[in-house]
Amino acid sequence: MTTDAASRTIARSTPRPAASVAVPAGAPRERRPLTGRRWFVVVGGALLPIALLATWQLVSTTGLVPVSMLPSPAMVWQAAVDLAERGLLGQYVAISTQRVFLGFAFGAALGLLVGAIVGLSRLGDILLAPTLGALRAVPSLAWVPLLILWFKIGEESKIILIAIGAFFPVYTIVSAALRHVDRRLLEAGRAFGLRGVPLFATVQLPAVVPSVISALRLALAQAWLFLVAAELIASSMGLGFLLLDSGQNGRIDRIFLAIILLAVLGKLTDSIVGLFERWAIRRWA
């Protein structure tokens, strides 16, 4: 009886799902460490940019560096306002973002598809992997002259170049991740009657979700990289064009503006992938 009661107490003190743990009123709440609190994460992440901005302001206004080399933040702001008033800023940002999104969407989707074929099927691997490996070995900028000849300086050539840039990281990472899914788990899945699509959804897909997300992140970064490359080489609008044009006209304030916009846009789009990551991990992993 007493041992029974004792064992029941033990059983009760074993850990349970967090949801069923009630914190008694008045008991000291477990304090989250500083690095786990939301405000600290936000403030902590903003510290360095603010410090950089302050240093920039200081260096440029004290004349330490001539403004022809380093414009002040106010000058860059003025350049932004000026461009915005002429309706160019919004247009450049919009067209660049659109190119990145379209190229990224096509490239990543194709990368997922082909990566899945090569990673899941031995036949697909044999037939496709050598050719894709050879195409991947071509530095992507080598496609530019060909794309311009084929598609002229229109939207297609840029979007295709960006898609090429986004395709290869996704293809490479996804096919490798699928090939390396734990064989013992796959065997367990098969032993319990899973095959084909259900096996993929139960074992392979959840196993590769983290890799897929890293792949998408990398592909998005590549997409911005190739956007600038494409716009630098041949375009009449967009942030890459702004960079090239400003470089030729010596508008260093606009160069700074374009670089800052690229940083902010890149980070914003990456955060979108981050949101998707949170959702996907909750859904699958």
198/205 Cα distance (integer angstroms): 10
Work out whether 190 is an interface residue with another protein (CB under 8 A). yes
Q: Please report how close the Cβ of residue 16 comes to another protein at its closest, in angstroms.
A: 6
Query: In this complex, which beta carbon is closest to another protein, that of residue 79 or of residue 280?
Result: 280
Q: Binders of another protein among 191-230, rule CB under 8 A? A: 191-195, 202-203, 206-207
Query: In this complex, which beta carbon is closest to another protein, that of residue 185 or of residue 265?
Result: 185
- For the four alpha carbons of 154, 155, 160 and 161, in that order, the dihedral sign comes to positive
Closest by alpha carbon to 76, among 245, 249, 257, 240?
257
Q: Please report how close the Cβ of residue 276 comes to another protein at its closest, in angstroms.
A: 17
Closest by alpha carbon to 104, among 214, 230, 219?
219
3-class state of residue 282 by DSSP: helix
- Pick the stretch among 99-107, 137-145, 187-195, 250-258 that binds another protein (CB under 8 A): 187-195
271/230 Cα distance (integer angstroms): 24
Q: How many residues bind another protein (CB under 8 A)?
A: 22
Work out whether 91 is an interface residue with another protein (CB under 8 A). no
Alpha helices by DSSP H, the chain: 2-13, 38-61, 73-85, 88-120, 122-137, 144-151, 155-179, 183-191, 196-199, 205-233, 239-249, 252-284
User: Do 238 and 92 touch, CB atoms closer than 8 A?
Assistant: yes
Work out whether 284 is an interface residue with another protein (CB under 8 A). yes
Work out whether 285 is an interface residue with another protein (CB under 8 A). yes
Query: In this complex, which beta carbon is closest to another protein, that of residue 60 or of residue 211?
Result: 211
Q: Please report how close the Cβ of residue 285 comes to another protein at its closest, in angstroms.
A: 4
Query: In this complex, which beta carbon is closest to another protein, that of residue 29 or of residue 183?
Result: 183
Q: Which of 189, 204, 234, 238 binds another protein (CB under 8 A)?
A: 189
Separation of CA 176 from chain center: 19
- For the four alpha carbons of 266, 267, 268 and 272, in that order, the dihedral sign comes to positive
Q: Which of 123, 188, 260, 264 binds another protein (CB under 8 A)?
A: 188
Work out whether 120 is an interface residue with another protein (CB under 8 A). no
Q: Which residues bind another protein (CB under 8 A)?
A: 11, 14-17, 184-185, 187-195, 202-203, 206-207, 284-285
